[in-house]
């Protein structure tokens, strides 16, 4: 399965977001990851629809939207219209999972389910046939720059094994503390979409950093 890198906009220079996006495109980044927080589901507030709309006008890069909000079903239509390509929402949210997945699909968007570190892997098993991706949080959601939680590797491995057992084509995404070292742990466990922020945006050579995450050599 192909590996992808999704750059977390939380770590971008927001005053120069246009140039930051151009840099991502030039350096082989596959996706731009939007962490949308409502201050209720998690103890932080970030950005929302206006930023996503402006970014969509500026780039064709895949927009990987992660809704850390209490009632994601209420906002699927608006995020789809704003330009999301992938929408992930939390299984721990108040919205019905199947209804929310179907709403995402109705807009031609790829659905993903996200799980917090405290949520067990088997919580997503029944949903796997309906998903494009599972997002495993490898830190507590809410703030960037946290350290990777090592015991999340077993959860990733368990989910990937279940996907394989069911014969499905489902991506496993990881978000939280992903860098050149931790990327190897999660890839070996079965993750193939790696979200990274400061490791990418602070790198002297972003292309080399991205290829380190994907375990690929620069040509």
Q: Is the pLDDT of residue 219 over 60?
A: no
Q: Are 85 and 171 in contact (CB under 8 A)?
A: no
pLDDT of residue 43: 83
Q: Are 56 and 83 a contacting pair, CB within 8 Å? A: yes
Taking CA atoms, 120 is separated from 24, 28, 66, 124, 192, in Å, by 33, 33, 19, 8, 20
Average pLDDT, the chain: 94
Per annotation, catalytic residue among 30, 64, 132, 175: 175
Structure tokens at 52: 């996503």
Which pLDDT score, from 0 to 100, does residue 154 have? 97
Superfamily, domain 4-214: Aldolase class I (3.20.20.70)
pLDDT band at 193 (very low <50, low <70, confident <90, very high): very high
pLDDT digits (tens, 9 = 90+) for 152-166: 999 999 999 999 999
Active-site residue flag, 175: yes
User: For 131-190, what is each residue's pLDDT tens digit?
Assistant: 999 999 999 886 666 689 999 999 999 999 999 999 999 999 999 999 999 999 999 999
**Domain boundaries defined on the chain:** 4-214
Q: In the prediction, which pLDDT does 144 show? A: 61
- What are the distances in angstroms from CA 133 to CA 12, 57, 113, 114, 165? 24, 25, 7, 9, 16
For residues 185-200, average pLDDT: 96
The angle subtended at Cα 55 by Cα 50 and Cα 61, nearest 5°, is 145
The tokens of 112 are what?
Answer: 């993903």
pLDDT digits (tens, 9 = 90+) for 85-144: 999 999 999 999 999 999 999 999 999 999 999 999 999 999 999 999 999 999 988 666
Distance, CA of 36 to CA of 199 (rounded, Å) = 20
Query: Under DSSP, is residue 72 helix (H, G, I), strand (E, B) or coil?
Result: helix
Active-site entry in 35, 60, 205, 215: 35
Is 215 an annotated catalytic residue? Answer: no
CA 99 to chain centre: 20
């Amino acid at each position: 399965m192909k590996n992808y890198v999704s750059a977390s906009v939380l770590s971008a220079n927001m005053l120069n977001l246009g140039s930051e996006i151009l840099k991502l495109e030039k350096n082989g980044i596959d996706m731009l990851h939007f962490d949308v927080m409502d201050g209720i589901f998690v103890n932080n507030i970030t950005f929302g629809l206006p930023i996503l709309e402006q970014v969509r006008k500026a780039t064709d890069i895949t927009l990987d939207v992660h809704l850390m909000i209490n009632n994601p079903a209420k906002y699927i239509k608006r995020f789809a219209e704003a330009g999301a390509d992938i929408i992930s929402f939390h299984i721990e949210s108040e919205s019905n999972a199947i209804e929310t997945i179907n709403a995402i699909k109705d807009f031609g968007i790829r659905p993903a389910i996200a799980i917090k570190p405290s949520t067990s892997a088997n919580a997503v098993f029944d949903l796997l046939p309906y998903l494009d991706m599972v997002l495993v949080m490898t830190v507590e959601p809410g703030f960037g720059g946290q350290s990777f939680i090592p015991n999340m590797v077993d959860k990733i491995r368990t989910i990937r094994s279940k996907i394989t057992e069911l014969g499905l084509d489902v991506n496993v995404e990881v978000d939280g503390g992903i860098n050149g070292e931790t990327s190897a742990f999660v890839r070996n466990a079965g993750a193939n979409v790696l979200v990274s922020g400061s490791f990418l945006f602070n790198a002297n050579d972003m292309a080399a950093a991205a290829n380190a995450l994907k375990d690929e050599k620069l040509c």
